[in-house]
Amino acid sequence: QVIKCKAAVMWEVNKPFSIEEVEVAPPKAHEIRIKIVATGICRSDDHVVTGAMVMPFPIILGHEAAGVVESVGQGVTSIKPGDAVIPLFVAQCGECNSCLNTKGNLCSKYSLSNSIGSAAGLMPDGTSRFTCKGKAIHHFLGTSTFSEYTVVHESAVAKIDSAAPLEKVCLIGCGFSTGYGAAVQTAKVEPGSTCAIFGMGGVGLSVVMGCKAAGASRIIAVDINSDKFDKAKELGATDCVNPKDFKKPIHEVLIEMTGHGVDYSFEVIGHSETMVAALASCQYNYGVSVVVGMPPAAQKITFDPMLIFSGRTWKGSVFGGWSKDSVPKLVADYMKKKFVLDPLITHTLPFTKINEGFDLLRTGK
C-alpha cells in the first residue's frame, strides 16, 4: 500500500521547510519502510538548506532518527515489521573490500560520495519512494527522516533493542555516535592524555564524553559561544576557552596552556580555518588531529606542510568510525547506563515546528 503522511519538504535552497502530505511507496526488494518516531536536527541538514552541501531539490532531509518497521520488501530476512530500528546514513553492503576491512567503516558500493552531490537523492535502484503534488521528491543520504514514514535500503538500517527509548537513542543515528566514536574509535584517546575540542554543539559535547570515557586527564573545550561551557563542564571538560578572549591565534593559546600542544585535537565545526588551527594546536611530533565537522562543498584548505612533516597525524572520521554492527551495541551500552544522552537534548518539539527547531540550531541554542 502507498502510505500518505506528513513530511517536511525542502522545495528550494534557503527557504523554510514546508509541511506537506506526501505519498510513500511500498518498499521494493531489499528495502524497509519505517514509521519514524523521533528525529534529531543536525548541522549537516542545515548545510543543504543553505547550499553549503549541494543536493538536488525538492528533497526530504533528516538522517538522525529511530523508528519502528512498518513493512519490508522481498528478500529482507534480518528485519521484520514491528522491529525497532535506527536508519544509517553510512550504509554498508557487508561484502566489498571496505566493509570486510576492520580499519574503516565506509562502504565502496554505497559510498558517501554516492549520496552527496550529483548522484544523490535516490534509492540504490535510481528511483525515489516519495511523491508530493505529483512530483518525485529526492531522498537524503538514503534516510530522509523528516517524514512520518520513510523507505531505506536494508544495508542502511540497524535493528536495536525494542525496549530502548526511541526519542533518546535517535541520537545514536548521528550526533552522539559521531562525536563519541571520533574520540574512542578514530583517535583512540589514551588515559592521561590531553585533548582539545573545537565546537561545543551536540557532536562536540559527545567528543567530550568520549575523551572522558577514554580517561583523558585534561579536556579543553573551545567555542566562540561561552553559553556552551556549563554543559561542556557537566560532561567532562576541565578547561573552557573562548578564542574571542585572546588577541593571539587559538593554537598559540592551547600550546601555552599545555606547554607543548595537546595530544589529541578535534574539529567539530566544519570550517577549514578551524581545521588548520586544530592541527596546529596538537603536539608537533606525535599529536593527532581529527576532522569531525562536515566540510562545506566549496572550501579548500591551505596549510604549512611543516605542520605534518614533523610527525603530526591528520585524520577524518565519519559516523565516529562505527559500523552497522556497532549501533545495536551502542544502544545496549546506553541501556546499561555507560553513557548519557539526556544532556544533549535541549528541546523537544512537535514535528510541525521543525522550522523553529532549525532557528534554535542556527542561534546556538
Q: Give the Å distances, CA to CA, from 358 to 15, 183, 247, 347.
A: 12, 27, 32, 11
Residue 185: closest CA among 8, 317, 346: 317
Known active-site residue 42? yes
User: From CA 127, how far away is CA 184, in angstroms rounded?
Assistant: 37
- If residue 314 lies in a helix (H) or strand (E), which one and from where to where? strand 313-316
Known active-site residue 115? no
Q: Which of 93, 170, 174, 211 is catalytic?
A: 174
DSSP 117: S
User: From CA 365, how far away is CA 356, in angstroms rounded?
Assistant: 11
Three-state secondary structure call for residue 284: coil
Known active-site residue 271? no
Known active-site residue 128? no
By the 8 A CB rule, do 304 and 327 touch? no
By the 8 A CB rule, do 79 and 72 touch? yes
By the 8 A CB rule, do 308 and 283 touch? no
Describe the crossing of helices 43-50 and 354-362 by its angle, rounded to 10 degrees: 100
Residue 184: closest CA among 293, 40, 312, 330: 330
Q: Which of 5, 18, 30, 42 is catalytic?
A: 42
Known active-site residue 107? no
Active site residues: 42, 44, 47, 63, 174
